[in-house]
Structure 1
């Protein structure tokens, strides 16, 4: 499951990381080194404390989350949106607290905290020798779902990570996900698609977080009634490799993380590749919207997503 979190920027005109980049990298390192040593209730409480303080500051990310949630829950009044955004920040920080602790969790701890409906759609296909593209939105903890797939189901998989700055932060994310049994390839560099295609043709599993286009060349879809762009990769991979395209959604339910594997998105029998890609990506968007509408507080979308927002601030796509 790819990441677009914690992005930094190199110092202008220099290949060296800026002071801010070094600080960000150090904080992530502290999280992975320190939080996993805390008792689980303490870590959970710390996450809620950080989330509540961040929410009360009403910063850019919180306001963006509320603006996004206003599309998802259009009948929500301002009080309801504030309630949802507070729950959303707590869910977001739960993701981080869990992710910092995941490398120290046993197989039993991972398995006891995850329950996925209709998982047979995934496992039966893989056991039959056919590759699967599993596409997810930014709901709950996709890294935990990945750890569950590798440790409990015994299905290693390949995913894509955005190349972050500073490079040391990207290296941390790669090492973290590889420690959970994932194969990670960088989003940029030109070789990601070929690597994913090879894995799928061999009957492997590829997992992609696919509700936000990072390439600026995605497919236009209708998402909660408005135009947005989502990655074309999942649909094109399925067309070119014969892999099955499966949407999945996740949500938190008390101590548990639950999920659902939705019905497959089939390749249309007729049409150009572009037309097929458009139809398949729209079907993914519809499946994502179903899961997000059911659990809006677990959708960690703190960035601009809809075309109207991106067009309004083309210089700021955060």
Structure 2
């Protein structure tokens, strides 16, 4: 799909889905998930490569395929709710959410201490942001720049309509890292997706027995500002959204700043590992996370550019 068609498709989704009967809409997105899963395209294969690390080598191919089918359905549920959330209403967001640990997070904020909430790509992170905003807590987050620019603006406007301040990961007029640090020092909440290295500057950590790459931003912000670093995991349970705020990860001691950030990021990876293992079908990770897959992608791109297709 080219950029213009992608923009039009998302625009249609935000217009049509919220106006359509919910039961029918969910059924359509479930069928789309099953169609993509049967086609076994690049996204499904990427999901299965990641899930293979979660379930281990002893899981059968049939078990992995069943898990990836559930994973694609969860992933498309996220997209359905992406379009539907603005029409769901505050009372529904609050009543259909089950949570644990939020009181500790909110306690830090009430005491004037900022919080870095670090999330893996699980469940519905847009819902989680809308939910805590509906509880009266403003938050700041970061969005990856999308092409075309009009699509990026649609996503930004959508998230702002749910009560979030959205900063660009790259580009824009603001110094994003500087703004995040100011929000934290002022006792604010910053929410960051933190299980995938997007810009190639992430740190290598152990994840499910392999090397993987994760961004250093959450640990660095906690170190620089004194904010509490709190992992948050999300998953579905029937009609309910589930949110767990895990215990704070203290910034690790060390002889250097880089060593402290590295060790803190490793500790964050261990919490993510446990959360993903409990709800692997709700880990929406179709892109490379593990270092071996990053290297394989790099080799494929190099060979394609060199004219080799073997």
With the shorter chain as reference, the TM-score category is over 0.9
Distance in 2 separating the partners of 1:67 and 1:236:
29
Q: Is 1:21–2:7 an aligned residue pair?
A: no
C-alpha displacement at 1:41, in angstroms?
1.2
Unpaired stretches in structure 2, ≥5 consecutive residues: 302-310
C-alpha displacement at 1:271, in angstroms?
2.4
Give TM-score scaled by structure 1 length. 0.91
1:1-318 alignment runs, 5 A limit: 20-74=2-56, 75-151=58-134, 153-189=135-171, 191-314=175-298
Distance in 1 separating the partners of 2:293 and 2:219:
25
For residue 313 of structure 1, give the secondary structure of its aligned residue in structure 2.
helix
Distance in 2 separating the partners of 1:41 and 1:310:
39
- 1:239-291 deviation line (CA, Å, top 9, x unaligned): 11110000010110010011211111101244211111011101111111111
Q: Please, which moves more after superposition, 220-229 or 181-190? A: 181-190
Question: Cα–Cα, structure 1 residues 31 and 199, in superposed 2: closer, same or farther, change >3 Å?
Answer: same
For residue 37 of structure 2, give the secondary structure of its aligned residue in structure 1.
helix
Residue 13 of structure 1 is matched in structure 2 by none
For residue 277 of structure 1, give the secondary structure of its aligned residue in structure 2.
helix
Give TM-score scaled by structure 2 length. 0.94
Name the Cα RMSD after superposition. Answer: 1.3
C-alpha displacement at 1:58, in angstroms?
0.9
* Runs of 4+ off more than 6 Å: none
C-alpha displacement at 1:316, in angstroms?
6.4
Distance in 2 separating the partners of 1:230 and 1:285:
8
8 Å Cα contact 1:310/1:316 also seen in 2: no
Distance in 2 separating the partners of 1:315 and 1:140:
32
Question: Cα–Cα, structure 1 residues 102 and 316, in superposed 2: closer, same or farther, change >3 Å?
Answer: farther
C-alpha displacement at 1:298, in angstroms?
0.4
Give 1 or 2: higher helix fraction: 2
Distance in 2 separating the partners of 1:176 and 1:103:
8
For residue 138 of structure 1, give the secondary structure of its aligned residue in structure 2.
coil
